[in-house]
Amino acid sequence: MYFKDLTDFPENYGYLNARLRAHFSDFLGREDYRRLAGKSLEGIEVFLLETRYGKSFRKGLVEQPLSAHRRIEMALGETAADSLSHARKMAMGEPEDLLMVILSSADLHNGRLLLRFFFTGAIYDGNPLWHGYGTLPVSFFRKLWSSHSISHVIDRCLAFPHPLSRPLGKACSELRKGVALPASERVLLTGILAYLNVILDRHRSKDSGIVRDFLGRSIDIWNMNTWSRVISGSISKEKAAGLYIEKGSYLSIEKLNASAYPNQLLRSTPWEEILARSPSRSVAMIVSRATKLFWLWQISLRRRDPLGIGVAIGYCAHQLVEWQNLNALVVGIDMGLGVDSIMDKMIIPG
Partner 1 sequence: MEKAIIALAAALAVGIPAIATAYAQARIGSVGAGTIAEKPETAGIIIILEAIPETMVILGFVVAVMLILQFA
Distances (CA, A) of 274 to 131, 257, 262, 266, 315: 28, 20, 9, 8, 23
Nearest-approach distance from CB 349 to partner 1, in angstroms: 21
Nearest-approach distance from CB 315 to partner 1, in angstroms: 13
> Which residue, 91 or 240, is less far from partner 1 as judged by CB?
91
Positions that interact with partner 1 (CB under 8 A): 11-19, 22-23, 307
> Which residue, 22 or 276, is less far from partner 1 as judged by CB?
22
Nearest-approach distance from CB 112 to partner 1, in angstroms: 35
Residues 321, 299: contact at Cβ < 8 Å?
Answer: yes
Nearest-approach distance from CB 307 to partner 1, in angstroms: 7
Alpha helices in 177-307 (DSSP H): 181-200, 206-231, 237-241, 253-258, 262-266, 273-277, 286-300
What is the rounded CA–CA span in Å between residue 262 and residue 43?
Answer: 42
Residues 163, 195: contact at Cβ < 8 Å?
Answer: yes
Residues 281, 259: contact at Cβ < 8 Å?
Answer: no
Nearest-approach distance from CB 51 to partner 1, in angstroms: 17
> Which residue, 10 or 270, is less far from partner 1 as judged by CB?
10
> Which residue, 20 or 75, is less far from partner 1 as judged by CB?
20
DSSP H/E element including 158: helix 150-159
Nearest-approach distance from CB 205 to partner 1, in angstroms: 16
DSSP per-residue codes, 239-258: HHHTT--S--SS--HHHHHH
> Which residue, 23 or 55, is less far from partner 1 as judged by CB?
23
What is the rounded CA–CA span in Å between residue 348 and residue 84?
Answer: 19
Nearest-approach distance from CB 13 to partner 1, in angstroms: 8
Helix (H, G, I), strand (E, B) or coil at 70: helix
> Which residue, 14 or 338, is less far from partner 1 as judged by CB?
14
Q: Any idea what the Cα angle at residue 38 is, between residues 317 and 64, rounded to 5°?
A: 70
Residues 328, 44: contact at Cβ < 8 Å?
Answer: no
> Which residue, 18 or 194, is less far from partner 1 as judged by CB?
18
